[in-house]
Amino acid sequence: MEVNNKLYKNQGIHVITSIFTVEQGVTKVLLIKRKNQPYLGKWVLTGGALYNNEDLEDGALREIKEKTGIEKIELIQSKAYGKINRSPAMRMVAISYIALIDSQRVNVLRDTRNTSDAFWCPIDEVPALGFDHNEILEDAIKELQKQIVKSNILKSLFPNGVTMPELQKTYEAILGKKFDRRNFRKKILNLNLLDDTNMTNKFEGNKPAKVYKFKKKIEDKDIFL
């Protein structure tokens, strides 16, 4: 492919991840504060420029590790963003990913080479972000909502198993919807995302709840006609 310098020079790729968690029925996204120009001091999603020696997902994972200390999480690709001026310095196209983790299980770095702060922000209270990250985050939330009903993305929140009441709380937090307790059970079991265990989990002084585990692999079924 011949390269016309005038037209193709100075292009780059951003890899950006919306890292979600759910705490006490509230869906939150990890925001970090920029330490450099552009958008110095602004909150943004986790991400940065892709290197030439790494695949897209590897780049996203490296950025996550550098800026937050979080390692080895599973990513799902969301969308690509390429408006001409979405990044001030040079032409950057962004590839967006989503991830879901248990915020209790990771130790988020609050100060790194490129970031001066980090916090888990409820998705209803997201401020104006740098770049086009508000738009990216909106789409990411929709992608998350799609994924929890067709993939085992929630496994990362409950690696040791989960009870129906816990699951329901989580689904309600992410989908922003309430469900009937008894029908929710049927719906979820029908999705075929869970395996039975014969363990139970005692809560605070009530009937013990059965523990389920997310399947390792989910076969994706046609949702066609």
Residues that bind its own copies in the complex, under the rule CB under 8 A:
1-3, 7-13, 36-38, 48-56, 59, 77, 79-84, 87, 89-93, 95, 145-146, 149, 171, 175, 177, 179, 184, 187, 223-225
Nearer to DNA (CB atom), residue 62 or residue 146 = 146
Residue 40 interacts with, from its own copies, DNA, none (CB under 5-8 Å by kind): none
- Residue showing tokens 């997310």: 214
- How many Å apart are CA 73 and CA 80, to the nearest integer? 20
- Residue 144: phi, psi to the nearest 5? -60, -45
What, of DNA, its own copies, none, does residue 190 touch, CB below 5 to 8 Å by kind? Answer: DNA
- Give the interface with DNA as residue ranges (CB under 7 A): 163-165, 180-183, 185-187, 190, 200, 202-203, 205-210
Helices marked H in the chain? 5-8, 56-68, 133-147, 164-175, 181-191
To the nearest whole angstrom, how small is the minimum distance from the Cβ of residue 177 to DNA? 11
Tell whether omega for the bond before 88 is within 30 degrees of 0, i.e. cis: no
Q: How far is the CB of 209 from DNA (least distance, A)?
A: 4
Q: Tell me which of DNA, its own copies, none is bound by residue 182, counting a contact when its beta carbon lies within the kind-specific cut-off of 5 to 8 angstroms.
A: DNA
| Phi then psi dihedrals of residue 118, to 5 deg | -155, 145
Residue whose CB is less far from DNA, 186 or 215: 186
The interface partner of residue 95, options being its own copies, DNA, none and the CB cut-off 5 to 8 Å by kind, is its own copies
The string of DSSP letters for 151-178 reads: S-GGGGG-TT-EEHHHHHHHHHHHHT--
